[in-house]
Amino acid sequence: MTPGTEFDGFCVNTANIWQVVGYILLVVKIVIPILLIVWGMLDLGKAVVAAKDDEIKKATKSLAMRAISAVLIFFIPTIVNVVLGVVSNFSESGAQDDWQVCRTCITNPGDGECDTYAQDAW
């Protein structure tokens, strides 16, 4: 769907909101995994300096869990993209075009197409 067509759906009318959600997801995708790994490394560093085996084992397990969490958080936008892609395949063509606007604005908020929809929505 190209900007300026007659179709006027929910996602087209709220494109600016979806664009903000997309930017928030982009920041979350980058900042939270970095923070989780840094906190885990700090905990492990404290345990190593304390030289207690039990604390080192706990800190190592904590670092591993935080690293796994960081990877999962990093892939949230990909999961959202897949879910929106599946949902858009079940609907009629006009609704598919509307879902495509949501999908574009959430997964690629800086995309020129999403910017056009967001400006039109204002």
Provide the domain limits for residue 36.
Answer: 29-74
Q: What is the DSSP string of 75-112?
A: THHHHHHHHHHHHHHTS-HHHHHHHHHHHHHHH-TT-H
Q: Is residue 17 a part of any domain in this protein?
A: no
What are the helix and strand counts (H, E) for the chain? 6, 0
- 33 and 70 fall within a common domain: yes
pLDDT for residue 6 is more than 60 = no
pLDDT in tens, 81-99: 787 777 766 666 656 677 7
Q: What are the backbone angles phi and psi of residue 72, rounded to the nearest 5°?
A: -65, -45
Do 89 and 65 belong to one domain? no
Q: Flag whether 3 is in a domain.
A: no
54 lies in the same domain as 89: no
Q: Mark whether 35 and 65 lie in a shared domain.
A: yes
pLDDT tens digits, 19-47: 898 899 888 888 888 888 888 888 888 88
Number of domains in the chain: 2
Distances (CA, A) of 8 to 28, 43, 95, 98: 30, 52, 10, 8
Place of tokens 């930017």: 23
**Considering the domain boundaries, does residue 100 fall inside one?**
yes
Does residue 66 form part of some domain?
A: yes
**What is the residue whose two structure tokens read 């908020």?**
109
Q: Both 61 and 88 in a single domain? A: no
* Domain identity same for 34 and 63: yes
